[in-house]
Each structure stands twice: as C-alpha cells, then as structure tokens.
C-alpha cells in the first residue's frame, strides 16, 4: 500500500537525552496503526515531531510524499494531520459547539457560513456530543472532554488522525463506548489513524498493525497478534523475565 504518512529515520535529543532514535514506519491511507511502549518510550515525542510541535534533529516526515518536518503545527494541520492530546485542551469558556466551530474554521477544510452549522451537527452527532452542544466545555466530565478533544480534531478535516491516549482515565464502560465510536468513525470516514494507547484490548481490536517503542527506539512492528508473541516486546513492554 502507498504510504500516506512516512516517518524515516527520525531522531530527537533533549540535551544529553535521546528521546527518539532513528525511528521509521509508515501509515497507509485508511489504515489504523498503533504506537505502543511503556511510559517514557518516546510515543508523545514522536507525535510532536510528526505534528510539528518539535523539529527533528535528523530524519524526515513525509505526508503524501512531501516533506513536512520542521513546519509549524498549523501548517501541518491544514495539510491534513489532526491530533488529540493526552491532557485535553478545550476552550473552557466556549460551548461544545463553539469548540467544534473553531476546529472547522481553522482546519484543512473550507466551510462557508451556510454549511458550518451542518458540519458542526454531523461532528457532534458522530462523537455523541449533540445533546451537550450548548454546555460549556469546562462543565464536561472527563469522558465528555475526551470526546470533545476528538471532535475538535475531526473538525480540522484530517486525512490522518493522531490519537494520544483518548481512553486514558476512562472507566471500562466508557472505554468500551469510546472504542465503538472510533470504529464507527473509521468505517464512516475511512481515515488513516495513528493511535497511542495503553489499553491492550483496544489496540488488539482497533489496529491492523502495531509499532513498539522502547527507550526511544523501535523494537517491534507487526500485527497485534504477532506483537504479543514477540520476545523483545514481551521483555520490554509486558515485563516478562
């Protein structure tokens, strides 16, 4: 399959610490790829390198074959990469609908005033937030804020959606509903998705391929089933002796 996103030999250092070292992988259009690793493995740093929050010390990031590394985050977003954050960042004093509208106005799509409301309604419906559209973001539960974070990312009209622990902190029931929602969104939109998640059950059900990081280096790649049998992954991530 032709790569929508290609990460080629990317590295990033912070002083004497190498957070990401020579990592390469790709995500094809419409594919869901998981990024796994223990805390401190370099997953969020890699997200920041792809989305433009950090510039790499070496290596390349390509979207549709064009290099995007080092560009400003807003430019990368408008080329079709949307992301969520581990720590959700809504505009607390805006309503849920207004938060989604910001994403629609800012992102890769171009929406006239006539269809803006319709697009808001579609996104609120598919993320289960329509009944909360008039509520201030600050008043939402954690599960609601997580959904709003996803809704704002979807509003930017991404071709690649990057999800950074969207299920973290949720109850098992909430996580199950979030998984069903992501599967439904993927089936409807056909988006490529790159997802960081510690919920192994969710990764097994959601992803067609998983990339595993350990201390900033890629130590494994394959189907979820193959990864769970990989001795290096078991030792580094699952803690086997």
Q: What is the pLDDT of residue 39?
A: 86
Q: Looking at residue 235, what is its pLDDT?
A: 83
Lowest mean pLDDT among 178-182, 205-209, 213-217, 233-237: 233-237
pLDDT more than 90, % of the chain: 80
Write the pLDDT tens digit of every residue in 97-143: 999 999 998 875 565 666 788 999 999 999 999 999 999 999 999 99
Residue 196 and residue 163 in contact, taking contact as beta carbons nearer than 8 Å: yes
SS (H, E, C) the chain: CCEEEEEEEEEEEECCEEEEEEEEEEEECCCEEEEECCCCCCHHHHHHHHHCCCCCCEEEEEECCEECCCCCHHHHHHCCEEECCCCCCCCCCCEHHHHHHHHHHHCCCCCCHHHHHHHHHHHHHHCCCHHHCCCEHHHCCHHHHHHHHHHHHHHCCCCEEEEECCCCCCCHHHHHHHHHHHHHHHHHHCCEEEEECCCHHHHHHHCCEEEEEECCEEEEEECHHHHHHCHHHHHHHHCCC
Q: What is the pLDDT of residue 11?
A: 98
Q: Which two tokens stand for residue 81?
A: 């990469």
Q: What is the pLDDT of residues 139-189, one digit of tens each?
A: 999 999 999 999 999 999 999 999 999 999 999 999 999 999 999 999 999
Q: What is the pLDDT of residue 241?
A: 43
Paired strand residues for 113: none
**Token couple for 195:** 């997802």
Under CATH, which number does the domain 3-80+158-238 receive?
3.40.50.300
pLDDT of residue 89: 85
d(CA 97, CA 152): 10
pLDDT at 199: 79
Domain boundaries, the chain: 3-80+158-238, 97-157
The whole-number pLDDT of residue 236 equals 79
Residue 233 predicted with pLDDT over 90? no
Quick check: 74 pLDDT over 70?
yes
218 phi/psi in degrees, rounded to 5: -80, 125
- pLDDT, average across residues 53-64: 97
Q: Say what the pLDDT of residue 116 is.
A: 86
How does pLDDT run across 82-95, given as a tens digit for each residue?
Answer: 999 988 989 999 99
Give pLDDT, residue 200. Answer: 79
Q: How far apart are CA 153 and CA 58, in angstroms?
A: 28
Q: Is the pLDDT of residue 198 over 70?
A: yes
């Amino acid at each position: 399959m032709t790569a929508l996103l290609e990460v080629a030999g990317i590295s990033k250092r912070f002083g004497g610490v190498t957070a990401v070292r020579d990592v390469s992988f790709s995500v094809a259009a419409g594919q869901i790829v998981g990024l796994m690793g223990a805390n401190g493995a370099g997953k969020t740093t890699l997200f920041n390198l792809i989305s433009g929050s950090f510039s790499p010390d070496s290596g390349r990031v390509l979207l549709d074959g064009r290099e995007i590394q080092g560009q400003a985050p807003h430019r990368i977003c408008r080329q079709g990469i949307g992301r969520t954050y581990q720590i959700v960042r809504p505009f607390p004093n805006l309503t849920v609908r207004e938060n989604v509208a910001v994403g629609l106005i800012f992102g890769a799509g171009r929406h006239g005033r006539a269809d803006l409301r319709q697009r808001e309604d579609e996104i609120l419906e598919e993320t289960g937030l329509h009944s909360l559209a008039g509520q201030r973001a600050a008043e939402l539960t954690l599960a609601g804020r997580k959904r709003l974070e996803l809704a704002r990312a979807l509003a930017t009209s991404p071709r690649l959606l990057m999800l950074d622990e969207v299920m973290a902190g949720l109850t098992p029931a909430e996580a199950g509903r979030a998984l069903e929602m992501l599967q439904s969104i993927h089936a409807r939109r056909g988006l490529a998705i790159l997802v960081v998640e510690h919920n192994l059950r969710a990764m097994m059900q959601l992803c067609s391929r998983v990339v595993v990081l350990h201390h900033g280096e890629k130590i494994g790649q394959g189907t979820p089933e193959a990864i769970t049998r990989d001795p290096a992954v078991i030792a580094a991530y699952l803690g086997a002796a």
